[in-house]
Structure 1
Amino acid sequence: MTTHRHDWYTSEGYDGGLHHCKKCKLSSQGERIATPCPVSDAEHHAVAWLGQAGLYPTRFDAVRNFEQSIRPVSANELFELASKQVLSQLNEGRQHA
């Protein structure tokens, strides 16, 4: 079971308000639901998804490509992966020259 917290915002302030989770899109009238959020902060802020076959722009794309294990990638991680790839390609080019 997950222990992630919901990221609530409130609209319609009457009758206790209508609360929405920015991460899982759950809505609750009146009191905010106390159950854990199924979406982690990392998943919510992911800019890409990394699977066995490589990077995917969305989780859906990874699943559609039958990836069994994927993980969210942050903007910083994506930059690091891209930098390593570029350095690798530059080094490979120098070896062939």
Structure 2
Amino acid sequence: MSTHRHDWHTFEGYDGGAHHCRKCDRHHQGPTPEAHDCPVSDAEHNAVAWLGQAGLYRTRFDAVRNCEQAVTPVSAAELFQLASKQVATQLKKERKRA
């Protein structure tokens, strides 16, 4: 069982309300549940890319379609760091050629 919290959004406020988790798309009718059983972590929900053994992917689906066994969510800051390292490596290679 996961320990991630749901990101509940109440869209009907009567009879306890109807709630929707923005992370896992779970729906609940009645009072907001207190359970911390969301299968989606904040990192997965906020990922701008996914890193697999063969490289970087736009979506988790793209990674799975490319037969990746394990992928890691990448935040915007991490993506910027990866891109910066890649550019620095390419610049070093170009300088060695010149």
Contact 2:4 2:41 in 1 (8 A): yes
Following TM superposition, by how much is the alpha carbon of 1:31 offset from its aligned partner in structure 2, in angstroms?
Answer: 2.5
Q: Does 1:81 align with 2:91?
A: no
Who is 1:10 aligned against? Answer: 10
TM-score (norm 2): 0.95
Superposed counterparts of 1:1-97, under 5 Å: 1-33=1-33, 34-97=35-98
Aligned residue pairs, count:
97
Task: Go from structure 1 to structure 2 and tell me whether the alpha carbon gap of 1:35 and 1:56 turns closer, same or farther (over 3 Å shift).
Answer: same
> Separation in 2 of the partners of 1:10 and 1:47?
25
CA RMSD of aligned residues (A): 0.9
Question: Alpha-carbon deviations, 1:35-90, whole Å to 9, x = none?
Answer: 51000000000000000010000000000000011000000000000000000000
Structure 2: which 5+ residue stretches go unaligned? none
Q: Distance in 2 between matches of 1:30 and 1:93?
A: 62
Identity across aligned pairs (percent)? 70
Q: Where does the alignment leave 5 or more consecutive residues of structure 1 unmatched?
A: none
Aligned-partner residue type, residue 29 of structure 2: Q
In the aligned structure 2, how far is the partner of 1:35 from the partner of 1:4?
6
Offset of 1:96 from its aligned partner?
1.2
Provide the C-alpha distance between the structure 2 equivalents of 1:41 and 1:11, rounded to a whole number of angstroms: 21
Aligned amino acid, residue 31 of structure 1 = P
* Aligned counterparts of 2:62 and 2:31: Cα–Cα separation in 1: 36
Amino acid aligned to 1:5: R
Shift of the alpha carbon at 1:9? 1.0
What TM-score do you get using the length of structure 1 for normalisation? 0.96
